[in-house]
Structure 1
Amino acid sequence: MIIEMIVQDEVEAMQAEAYGANRLELVSAISEGGLTPSYGTIKRVLKSTHLPVQIMIRPHSNGFVYRDFDWEVMKEDISIIKELGGTGIVFGALNSDGSIDEQLLEKVIKHASGLDITFHRAFDEVTSQQEAYKTLTQYKYEIKRILTSGGKASCADATKELKWLVEQSRLTGGPAILPGSGLSPENIATVHQQVDAKEYHFGSGVRLEKSFHHGFSEDAIKQIRRTLEGTN
């Protein structure tokens, strides 16, 4: 069972590792939904942890439809991540009709060759998750997983949708499903029982006072770990 946790800097990365995370998602500007972190932050986080770090590639928070100059910025960011020894990125892009932007996705895959790619919650804004999953399955050797809340604000409200996606992943060998958004010690047992994913993504639900302004709650993480290990 993989527990992925959002971190914003090296202190949080070290704390998350110490408390039992298996993988990290590094972002900046969490209030904007998560943007690409700075060069300095990436460098220091990569040096501070032994865990896999998925680094957000998102130049702005104005939706997920990108222009050519957005791609040029993302290309530079990906190059820097590779130079710094990064091993993973988190990325997602859509067309104006709510479908996956395959043209840009293929550019990212080519430029990020060798990196582990997570398709992020842009997936929750597609017109059809069923069609979007079929599209992303074509890139299953490059895109390892999809971070999603099943198209709703919280995973707890989308267990049927997430279960369908998990089943599709198993049937097709497509990208794994990484449920994320609204997960906490209080609901993870119910969500896992109904969804049965192999990895889960946690944000404010594992923090003190459930706020990104505070550090992680060791008790919350231990409770989640016990719950997930006890249901397998």
Structure 2
Amino acid sequence: MTTVEICVSDVPTALVAEAAGAHRLELCADLGQGGTTPSLGAVAIALRTLTTAGLRVMVRARGGDFRVSEVEEQVMLADIAALRALPNPRGLPLGVVVGAVADGRLDLPVLGRLIEAAGPLPVTVHKAFDEVSDQFEALDQIIGLGADAVLTSGGAPTALDGAVRIAALRQRAGDRLRVIAGGGIRSHNVRQVLTETGARELHLRAPVRRDGREATDAAEVRRVVDAVRTH
């Protein structure tokens, strides 16, 4: 089965995406800055109210670049510890999403400590991975650190633009790491993305403006899920 992960900004949009058929959700705050750590309250209520979808939680101290200072790392470690301590009454699959880059390379010491802090929670390395100069070297490093997955558009603006690279990364990773394709994926191109990348996991937003704010477009989520199912 191909997994469809929808990036959401709060609990209401998470519930909409789940009801529309999303298999997994990435919960973030401040999507305009690329996503930061959501409130513990939002995560706690999501774990209490979601019923079927897995949940990945962004752990990122601020927007902007992907450098992580010593203080920001301490904040992220504290957030991970707090997330691990939250009740998960339905036993939903829960994981965290992190990343750290410095001077065109992964910040391995920081990433290593974040992944270690996550303990049994699976870890996705987010699209900071697309900022590194050698993605194949970085892929091996992420595998060595024990991450579960990496989100990438193959270093290109969109997953379609980076399809050849994504396919090559998937081949290199084999069964050691899951490569999630993301970037510009919509219902009108999702079949092409699947064909050209061979991806078995997709990440996208399905935004729509309602009442002056961004919400999740349930119809678009359904179209993507249906397209994936029939591909």
TM-score, length-normalised on structure 2?
Answer: 0.90
Measure, in 1, the Cα distance between the counterparts of 2:218 and 2:59: 28
After TM superposition, give the deviation of residue 208 of structure 1 in Å: 3.2
After TM superposition, give the deviation of residue 207 of structure 1 in Å: 3.1
Measure, in 2, the Cα distance between the counterparts of 1:36 and 1:123: 18
| Deviations 1:176-211 (CA, angstroms, capped at 9, x unpaired) | 1101111001111111111111110011xx33369x
**Which amino acid counterpart does residue 186 of structure 1 have in structure 2?**
H
**Which amino acid counterpart does residue 40 of structure 2 have in structure 1?**
Y
Aligned pair partner of 1:108 in 110, 114, 117: 114
Contact residue 13 and residue 48 of structure 1 kept, 8 A:
no
Contact residue 57 and residue 74 of structure 1 kept, 8 A:
yes
Measure, in 2, the Cα distance between the counterparts of 1:26 and 1:120: 13
SS of the counterpart of 1:156? coil
Contact residue 148 and residue 179 of structure 1 kept, 8 A:
yes
Measure, in 2, the Cα distance between the counterparts of 1:122 and 1:92: 6
Contact residue 147 and residue 177 of structure 1 kept, 8 A:
yes
CA RMSD of aligned residues (A): 1.8
Aligned pair partner of 1:120 in 119, 123, 126: 126
**Is it true that 1:13 corresponds to 2:14 in the alignment?**
yes
Corresponding residue for residue 191 of structure 2: 189
After TM superposition, give the deviation of residue 40 of structure 1 in Å: 1.8
**Is it true that 1:94 corresponds to 2:101 in the alignment?**
yes
Contact residue 33 and residue 64 of structure 2 kept, 8 A:
no
Q: How many residues align?
A: 223
- Kindly tell me: are residues 85 and 121 of structure 1, through their superposed partners in 2, closer, same or farther at Cα, counting changes over 3 Å? farther
SS of the counterpart of 1:179? strand
**Which amino acid counterpart does residue 47 of structure 1 have in structure 2?**
R
**Is it true that 1:47 corresponds to 2:84 in the alignment?**
no
After TM superposition, give the deviation of residue 218 of structure 1 in Å: 3.0
- The structure richer in helix per residue is 1
**Which amino acid counterpart does residue 38 of structure 2 have in structure 1?**
P
**Which amino acid counterpart does residue 72 of structure 2 have in structure 1?**
D
Corresponding residue for residue 147 of structure 1: 151
| Deviations 1:84-107 (CA, angstroms, capped at 9, x unpaired) | 146310001112x21111111121
Measure, in 1, the Cα distance between the counterparts of 2:203 and 2:62: 22
Corresponding residue for residue 215 of structure 2: 215
After TM superposition, give the deviation of residue 221 of structure 1 in Å: 2.2
Contact residue 8 and residue 216 of structure 2 kept, 8 A:
no
Which range moves more in the overlay, 146-155 or 84-93?
84-93
Contact residue 160 and residue 196 of structure 2 kept, 8 A:
no
Measure, in 2, the Cα distance between the counterparts of 1:165 and 1:106: 21
Corresponding residue for residue 91 of structure 2: none
- The structure richer in strand per residue is 2
Gaps of at least 5 residues in structure 1 are none
Q: Higher relative contact order at CA 8 Å, sep ≥6: structure 1 or structure 2?
A: 2
Measure, in 2, the Cα distance between the counterparts of 1:222 and 1:80: 33
Contact residue 148 and residue 177 of structure 2 kept, 8 A:
yes
Gaps of at least 5 residues in structure 2 are 89-93
Corresponding residue for residue 162 of structure 1: 166
Measure, in 2, the Cα distance between the counterparts of 1:209 and 1:181: 20
TM-score, length-normalised on structure 1?
Answer: 0.90
**4+ residue runs over 4 A deviation:** none
| Deviations 1:122-164 (CA, angstroms, capped at 9, x unpaired) | 001001111111211213xx31110111111211211111111
